[in-house]
Amino acid sequence: MSTEIEHDSIAAEVLEAADHIEAEALAAAAACPAAPADASALAALPKRHTLAVLVDNEAGVLSQVSRLFSRKGYNIESLAVGPTDNLAISRMTIEVFTDDKHADLMCNQLRKLLPVHSVKLLDMDHSLRRELVLYKVNATSHDVRNEVIQIANIFRGQVIDVTSSTMTVSLIGEEGKTEAAQALLAEFGIIELVRTGMVALERGHHTIDEDTKEKGEFNYGKHVL
């Protein structure tokens, strides 16, 4: 009996000591809260940046822009080009992985090119980004075709071609949506896949044609000096 009492006493002391240590740890944590993330450190981390560029719609411009990126050692992750409502002007949407400092540097370098009219680094949180992806998958049975159709419907895609052995699905969206669909379609075997490259616009009234002091200085330097 006395042994059991001693054991209970020891256990109570251990629990009390553990509670005391936990209380001290919580008090120390409250007195020294975690330091907030350093904004400069976050800016130095590589991430996806989207650049919108207006250029002359003429031969050789795309080559000039791509050479600029290759000289600086950057790989273009996505590139989409097409004419605007003004057929003399094309719009490029370029995506690269880099830090904020080098993204600003690339924008400044692009502005120096004579065929370039305007450059804007889009805010990812206030931009609409979309990409068209076509998936051609194996579909040799009725059950597989039904499953592919269901996947296309879930992601609001479209089945645009069907044969006795394949199906082609088109899907528009951002990376998360297109990659999720790709992971599901991969179970049936993807025969071919093609992407258009990302296109992007800012939300609301903001446009690439906004006049800024920086834009004016670069245009002055290109055309006057």
- For the segment 15-33, the average pLDDT, to the nearest whole number, is 49
Do 87 and 97 lie in one domain? The reply is: yes
- For the segment 10-25, the average pLDDT, to the nearest whole number, is 48
- Percent of the chain at pLDDT > 90 equals 63
Do 99 and 210 lie in one domain? The reply is: yes
For residue 190, being part of any structural domain is answered with yes
- For the segment 35-58, the average pLDDT, to the nearest whole number, is 77
For residue 21, being part of any structural domain is answered with yes
The domain of 16 spans: 1-34
* CATH number of domain containing 139: 3.30.70.1150
Instruction: Give the pLDDT confidence score for residue 188 in this predicted structure.
Output: 96
- For the segment 98-118, the average pLDDT, to the nearest whole number, is 92
Q: Are 57 and 88 in contact (CB under 8 A)?
A: yes
Do 123 and 134 lie in one domain? The reply is: no
Cα distance between residue 184 and residue 181, in whole Å: 5
Instruction: Give the pLDDT confidence score for residue 221 in this predicted structure.
Output: 59
The answer on pLDDT for 100 being more than 80 is: yes
105-109, 130-134, 173-177, 205-209 — which is least confidently predicted? Answer: 205-209
Tell me how far CA of residue 17 lies from CA of 13, 26, 77, in angstroms. 6, 14, 57
Question: Does residue 97 come out as left (phi exceeding 0), alpha (psi in the -120 to 50 range) or beta?
Answer: beta
User: In this predicted model, which residue has the larger pLDDT, 38 or 110?
Assistant: 110
Strand order in the sheet with 76-83: 76-83, 89-98, 47-56, 116-122
Instruction: Give the pLDDT confidence score for residue 125 in this predicted structure.
Output: 86
Tens of pLDDT, residue by residue over 81-96, are 999 999 999 999 999 9
For residue 40, being part of any structural domain is answered with no
The answer on pLDDT for 29 being more than 50 is: no
Counting the structural domains of the chain, the total is 3
* Residue 223 burial class via C-beta count within 10 angstroms: exposed 0-12, middle 13-18, buried 19 and up: exposed
For residue 39, being part of any structural domain is answered with no
